[in-house]
Every structure is written in structure tokens, then in C-alpha cells.
Amino acid sequence: MRFIYLAAIQLYGLALQLAGLFNAKAGLWVAGRRQWRARHRALLEAKPRQGLPLVWVHCASLGEFEQGRPVIEGLKAARPEIQVLLTFFSPSGYEVRKNYSSADYVVYLPLDTPANARDFMAIWQPALAVFVKYEFWYFHLKALQQRGIPVFLVSALFRPGQLFFKPYGGPFRQLPGWFHHIFVQNESSGALLRAQGLRNFSVAGDTRIDRVLQIAVNAHAFPVIAAFKGDAPLLVAGSTWPEDEALLVPFLNDHLPKGWKAIIAPHQISDSHIQGLAKRLQGRVVRYSEATTSNLPEARILLIDNVGMLSALYQYGRLAYIGGGFGAGIHNTLEPIAFGLPVFFGPKYDKFEEARYLVQSGGGFSIRNLQELKAAFDQLIPETPYLAASEKARQYVLENQGASRKAVGALLKAIG
């Protein structure tokens, strides 16, 4: 099994090198790992360790970073002298957070081979490691285990279909046991580990909840958004894909009540996509990058053509639509519900515990078509059902906060 895994990893690396000739994201993945040993050593020469403890935090991409962020910042608040090495697998995480101020070093994780893992450990020599959610890189974890370096997994989710729980999983069945401690998000994940005879875990919840509550408390104000909204109730549609927009466009054109306004923050923000979306929408549509005091008052729909401000936009909303539910899965519902917004999303939500709770409690609504979106929206127009849904939405984050504090406490104890 190890041989098959290593061969697959090496083929994956070769495929990305080929794809990098034609695909910008793949090109960034390859370029970020080119001559990585020399580049990592250069970072250490520019900012020497000086004998300070180094905590290595690894995130797959930007979403996992948001789960690891409150842990990093909690460590730094408690022990400012601790140095943090932050690694990413994906360019979508690294390119956005390569200048993250709470990390002392930010790099790409090398491809998971025995030689890369050995050299990575030799260069950085972490005191302990923290992996976030789904990251199980066999040879890097093996290198940590062989060196006796404690490794933690935070915001973990496990499912029966994973190799760890299959008879044919081979050496991968050992991986959960290599962690010093695993902080799982829910009881079902804990039950899977318990069935394997493991006790190195606790049910702590999702660290993303602590992060979205931080955002809600310290949300950055946007005068442009406030000027656009005025006194109108606002629907905020975040991380929408074309499949979502196929519903949203006719909904906004024909069903959004008079006096309401809407913000759309598409997942794809290319100029061609934004222009195409604007042409399909009726009424005055303004792009955020082109918003002025003269064109905002009469605008009905505002299109967000940048990355990074969506999480704070929900503070202005009354209702939210979260994209992705007609594709691989919904995007972040925690951000809007931290502000008490009831949420709508497509049918692909089963992998997300918070979404299942929202549907069951009445704080969220899964819709399959335009008619269901209209019905769910109309249901929340009256004040009484709206306030009930809003309370259920906010209740989830308030009752499930604190996962970061538990993880930080364990990490500080391990560092000593």
C-alpha cells in the first residue's frame, strides 16, 4: 500500500507539472515548490530561530486556515515568543495568506515523499505540529512520529468510507493512532475512532465557530455597503456558482420585493463573469469597484468583484444565500449565522453538521429549485418567523464555541 501511495503521489506531482504549463493555479503549485529546500533555508537565515520553540501548523487551503487561525492566534496571545511555521498545500491558501502576520514563516508543504518529509523536518525541527481537519500526509506524519514530535489534529471529521476504517486500508489504518491528540468536531467522528480502539481524542467542536464569532464582534465597516443598503432590507448571496446564479437571477428579477436590495459575491470574479451576470440582472446593477456616491442610491443590486470582504458583508444583511449547494457542497454558512442571518442553500449540504442543524431547527433552508427558493424567502418576510429563524441560526454558534480554547490549552501543555 505504501508503494502504491508513493507512486500515486509522484504521478500527481508530475501531472501538476504538466498542467502548470496551461493552468495558472497548477503553475503556482509547481513554482511554489521549486527548489524548496534552498528557499526554506533562506527564510531561516533571514529570520533565525534563536532557540525559540517552533509550532508547525499545516492547512490544506484557505478554508482550513480559517479553522487553524484562532488556534494560531490563541498560541501567540498566550506565548508571544512561540514561532509559527504555517504551511499550505494549495495556492488558494498560500497566495492569500503568505503575509499572515501571526505566522513567522509561511511556505508550501513539499510533496509527500520520504525524502521531502525527512529534509523538511531536518530544516525546520518543529517542537510540535498541528494539522487541520482532513490533512493526513503519510510520510510527513511518519517523520514526525519517528522523531517523537507531538502532532495534533484539530477540527477533525471522520467518515466510515475513509481508508482508516477499511480492512484494505493497510498502513493508513495506523494514522489516527500517530496523533498525540485529535480534537474531533462531533460524536460520530469520535465513535469511529473509539471503534478502532483509539482513545487519543476528545469531542471539541469546530474552531471555525470561534473565528466567525471573532469576525462578527470585530467586523470591519464598509461605508460603500452602508450607503448602498440605506434602510432597505438586504439579501446577501455569497460564494455563488453559475448553478446558484441560474436560480438567483430570475428570483432577483421577478420575486425580490420592492424596497429590498441584494448583494452577490460570486465565487468566480473574472471580468467576463461579472459582466455576464450584470447583463442578466434587471434594474440598476453596480460593481463594487465602480461604486460611487452618485450611482449607489439608485442601485438595486451590488456585485462584489474582489476577494476577502464577504465574511464582513453579512453584518449588513437580513437574509443570506450560500452558494455551492448544487455542486461539490455548500460554502461557509457559519459566517452569516454568526450575525443571526437565516440562510438558504442548495441540496448538497449533508457533509456539514452546521447545515444539517440549521435545516432541522429552522435556521436554514435547503432549496432544490426556484419555486422552493421563493417559498422559503416568503416564509421569512413576516417578522415573527424571521426572528425565530434568526435566533435558531445564531444559537448554533453561541452553543458550540470554545473549540480553539481547548486546543490551545493542550498545545501549550505539550510545549511546556
> What pLDDT sits at residue 200?
97
Dist CA 311 CA 300 (whole Å): 21
DSSP state of 34: T
Dist CA 135 CA 141 (whole Å): 10
Mean pLDDT of 130-143: 95
Dist CA 134 CA 176 (whole Å): 11
> What pLDDT sits at residue 23?
93
What percent of the chain clears pLDDT 90, i.e. is strictly above it? 93
Find all residues with CB under 8 Å of 342, minimum gap 6, and list them.
Answer: 319, 320, 363, 364, 365, 380, 386, 389, 390, 392, 393
Q: Of the given ranges (168-172, 304-308, 326-330, 353-357), which has the lowest mean pLDDT?
A: 168-172
> What pLDDT sits at residue 17?
92
pLDDT at 63 over 90: no
Dist CA 168 CA 286 (whole Å): 55
> What pLDDT sits at residue 294?
84
Dist CA 35 CA 58 (whole Å): 20
> What pLDDT sits at residue 38?
98
DSSP secondary structure string for all residues of 166-231: SGGGGGGGGHHHHSSEEEESSHHHHHHHHHTT--SEEE---HHHHHHHHHHHTPPP-HHHHHHHTT
pLDDT at 384 over 80: yes
> What pLDDT sits at residue 150?
98
Secondary structure element (H or E) that encloses residue 351, with its range: none
Model confidence band, residue 216 (pLDDT cutoffs 50, 70, 90):
very high
State the CB neighbour count (10 A cutoff) for residue 27: 16
State the angle between helix axes of 383-399 and 353-361 in degrees (0 to 180), rounded to the nearest 10: 150
* Helix, strand, or coil (residue 5): helix
Mean pLDDT of 279-291: 96
pTM: 0.86
**pLDDT tens track for 81-119:** 999 999 999 998 999 999 999 999 999 999 999 999 999
- Helix, strand, coil shares of the chain, percent, nearest 5, are 50, 15, 35
Domains observed in the chain: 39-206+401-415 (3.40.50.11720), 218-399 (3.40.50.2000)
- Cα–Cα distances in angstroms (integers) from residue 251 to residues 137, 191, 342, 363, in the given order: 44, 43, 17, 21
> What pLDDT sits at residue 403?
96
**Residue 169: what residue type?**
G
- Cα–Cα distances in angstroms (integers) from residue 140 to residues 105, 131, 137, 165, 174, in the given order: 18, 11, 6, 20, 14
Mean pLDDT of 226-234: 96
> What pLDDT sits at residue 111?
97
What integer best gives the mean pLDDT of the chain? 96
Cell of 340: 443571526
> What pLDDT sits at residue 416?
86
**pLDDT tens track for 292-310:** 988 998 899 999 999 889 9
pLDDT at 3 over 90: no
> What pLDDT sits at residue 141?
97
Given a contact cutoff of 8 angstroms between Cβ atoms, the answer to whether 43 and 83 are in contact is: no
